[in-house]
Amino acid sequence: MKTYVVQGPTPLKGDVPISGAKNATLKLMAAALMVPGEVVLERVPRISDVSLMCEVLERLGVEVAFEGSTLRIDATNEPKNEATYELVSKIRASIQVLGPLLARLGSARVSMPGGDAIGSRPIDLHLRGLERMGAEFSSEHGYVEGVAARLTGARVLLEFPSVGATETLLMAGTTAEGTTTIDNAAREPEIQDLAQFLNEAGARVLGAGTNTITIEGVAKLHPARHVVLPDRIEAGTYAIGAAATGGDVTLRDIRPGDMELVLQKLEDSGAEVTRETDSVRIRATGRPAPMDLVTLPYPGFPTDLQPPMMVLLAQATGPSILTENVFEARFIFVDELNRMGAQVRVEGHHAVIKGVERLTGAPVRAPDIRAGAALMLGGLSAHGETRIHDEGHIERGYEDFVAKLEGLGAVVSVTEG
Ligand code: UD1
């Protein structure tokens, strides 16, 4: 347990370098299981989710070396085919090893991920898609066990553009026999990054970033080196932080196009946004304007930035309605935010936000990664001291969070226990 003690209000001011994307890195690491040789990933963020995923790969018998921000993964030897409950329960994204293991080994046994704080997270779309590619699944004792002598290309229409299911099928399709088409595919930039890596490793993937992805199966993948794309969610967190604190922040080393809607919403709130090729400056003064906002799969507004956005709108000059369409339980942190003087009422998947003149510091608890970061932004905009009790969520997703905030002028201290 860590406690972040934040003094506010502090306008965030200065430059902040953005790390490689967590959500791309974890899937690239899973994809490395399919490569009989060394994969080198650069610009890998030093966060605990990446360390846990390293552990998952090591337990599967794969060699992993992490130096600076370069991660080497060597799966020359065939990995084991089982990811245990102990591992999957620590990091849900480890379910992504299912597709690669099945593709490489013809069988895989992976613990079913349980729910987490942001809701139940089923994997039915992953399994149904793999079944269409010839896999057979049974589930017993909390494990899902799949077999497929060799996966075969198929046409898969996803009921919902799930990020994880698109990635599972994308990876599985690369070495399947024949052509796989994923319709209603998720279009997130991290999926494009994964497809780019797979192509660098010899795969033939077309259409990643659109809602139809076509994968022509190849016999095997070969070693590759890849630079992870910038983390648009980390960047968005600091951008919203600038707007929420009346600050002036320049995000460095990013792809502004990947976060266009977030930038537009910040402009709607009254912030001034200056876009350059690989950086963006966000300047804000005074209270933000209210707005209605809906989370949707990319290129819609990202659900991961909904909690920070709620902190911004909690201080708006009028009422806002925020609708959560991706993870229904994402509003669990509202009670914590209300302890800081916000006036937010949840009705189903809508949050009605009244907009108050000022938040006030309070002791709060971080229920997940993004809500933890949002509460930190709340603490920076609130008057007085905020203590955020966190069981390691923030460190799962944000590299050097405290140091980067301090670089922007925040006054934060951390105590253990
Ligand atoms: C990924 C991201 C997460 C982000 C989310 C949506 C990672 C590690 N995590 O999560 O940060 O918030 O995308 O952008 O990349 N669903 C099903 N059945 C399935 C799969 C998903 O019903 O088989 C549902 C989920 O319960 C959820 C919705 O689809 O309601 C979206 O999930 P999905 O897009 O798969 O998100 P993740 O890949 O889990």
Among the candidates 190, 206, 227, a domain finishes at 227
Answer yes or no: is pLDDT of 116 > 80. Answer: no
Mean of the per-residue pLDDT values for the chain?
Answer: 96
122 lines ligand 1 (CB under 6 A): yes
- Ligand 1: atom nearest CA of 126 is 23
Tell me the C-alpha distance between 41 and 228, whole Å: 7
Instruction: Write down the pLDDT at residue 133.
Output: 98
Query: How far, in Å, is the centroid of ligand 1 from the Cα of 357?
Result: 35
Answer yes or no: is pLDDT of 118 > 90. Answer: no
Categorize the per-residue pLDDT at 410 as very low, low, confident or very high, splitting at 50, 70 and 90: very high
Say which CATH number the domain at 213 has.
3.65.10.10
351 lines ligand 1 (CB under 6 A): no
What is the tens place of the pLDDT at every residue in 152-162? 999 999 999 99
What is the tens place of the pLDDT at every residue in 42-59? 999 999 999 999 999 999
Residues 217 and 328 in one domain: no
Residues 252 and 353 in one domain: yes
26 lines ligand 1 (CB under 6 A): yes
Kindly give, in sequence order, each residue whose CB lies less than 8 Å from that of residue 175, ignoring residues fewer than 6 positions away: 34, 103, 104, 151, 203, 217, 218, 219, 220, 221
Q: How many CB atoms lie within 10 A of CB 28?
A: 29
Instruction: Write down the pLDDT at residue 42.
Output: 98
Among the candidates 227, 245, 280, a domain finishes at 227
Among the candidates 202, 227, 252, a domain finishes at 227
Residue closest by Cα to atom 25 of ligand 1: 121
Chain-centre distance for alpha carbon 67: 22
Residue with tokens 């709130």: 269
For 237, the 3-state DSSP assignment is: helix
Mean pLDDT to the nearest integer, 89-101: 91
Residues 168 and 128 in one domain: yes
Q: Report strand pairing: 320-323 vs 292-294.
A: parallel
Categorize the per-residue pLDDT at 366 as very low, low, confident or very high, splitting at 50, 70 and 90: very high
Residues 197 and 250 in one domain: no
- Ligand 1: atom nearest CA of 24 is 15
Query: How far, in Å, is the centroid of ligand 1 from the Cα of 1?
Result: 27
- Ligand 1: atom nearest CA of 23 is 15
What is the tens place of the pLDDT at every residue in 10-36? 999 999 999 999 999 999 999 999 999
165 lines ligand 1 (CB under 6 A): yes
Query: How far, in Å, is the centroid of ligand 1 from the Cα of 362?
Result: 31
Mean pLDDT to the nearest integer, 374-398: 97
Residue closest by Cα to atom 39 of ligand 1: 164
Instruction: Write down the pLDDT at residue 122.
Output: 86
Tell me the C-alpha distance between 61 and 84, whole Å: 13
Q: Which domain holds residue 388?
A: 2-19+230-416
Instruction: Write down the pLDDT at residue 127.
Output: 95
Mutate to test the pocket of ligand 1, among 162, 296, 303 (most ligand atoms within 8 A of CB): 162
DSSP 134: T
Q: How many CB atoms lie within 10 A of CB 368?
A: 24
Categorize the per-residue pLDDT at 119 as very low, low, confident or very high, splitting at 50, 70 and 90: low
Bond before 299 cis per omega within 30 degrees: yes
- How many domains, in total, are found in the chain? 2
Answer yes or no: is pLDDT of 417 > 80. Answer: no
Residues 191 and 296 in one domain: no
Sheet of strand 155-157: strand arrangement: 155-157, 179-183, 212-216, 204-206
162 lines ligand 1 (CB under 6 A): yes
- Supply 183's token pair: 């319709």
- Ligand 1: atom nearest CA of 120 is 26
**pTM, to two decimals:** 0.97
Instruction: Write down the pLDDT at residue 86.
Output: 87
Residues 271 and 358 in one domain: yes
Residues 270 and 216 in one domain: no
Would you name the residues annotated as active-site residues? 116
Answer yes or no: is pLDDT of 117 > 70. Answer: no
Instruction: Write down the pLDDT at residue 87.
Output: 85
What is the tens place of the pLDDT at every residue in 189-236? 999 999 999 999 999 999 999 999 999 999 999 999 999 999 999 999
Tell me the C-alpha distance between 44 and 33, whole Å: 17
Instruction: Write down the pLDDT at residue 329.
Output: 84
Bridge partners, residue 63, by sequence:
74
160 lines ligand 1 (CB under 6 A): yes
Contact predicate 367/332, CB 8 Å: yes
What is the tens place of the pLDDT at every residue in 57-67? 999 999 999 99
Query: How far, in Å, is the centroid of ligand 1 from the Cα of 386?
Result: 31
Q: Rg (Cα) of the chain, in Å, rounded?
A: 21
Mean pLDDT to the nearest integer, 238-257: 98
Kindly give, in sequence order, each residue whose CB lies less than 8 Å from that of residue 257, ignoring residues fewer than 6 positions away: none
Mutate to test the pocket of ligand 1, among 47, 160, 193, 301 (most ligand atoms within 8 A of CB): 160
Instruction: Write down the pLDDT at residue 208.
Output: 98
Q: Please report how the helices 98-105 and 124-132 are oriented relative to each other, as an axis angle in degrees rounded to 10.
A: 20
Categorize the per-residue pLDDT at 402 as very low, low, confident or very high, splitting at 50, 70 and 90: very high
Residue closest by Cα to atom 22 of ligand 1: 122
Residue 327: C-alpha distances to residues 260, 324, 331 (Å): 22, 7, 9
Residues 220 and 289 in one domain: no
- Ligand 1: atom nearest CA of 160 is 29
159 lines ligand 1 (CB under 6 A): no
Residues 47 and 196 in one domain: yes
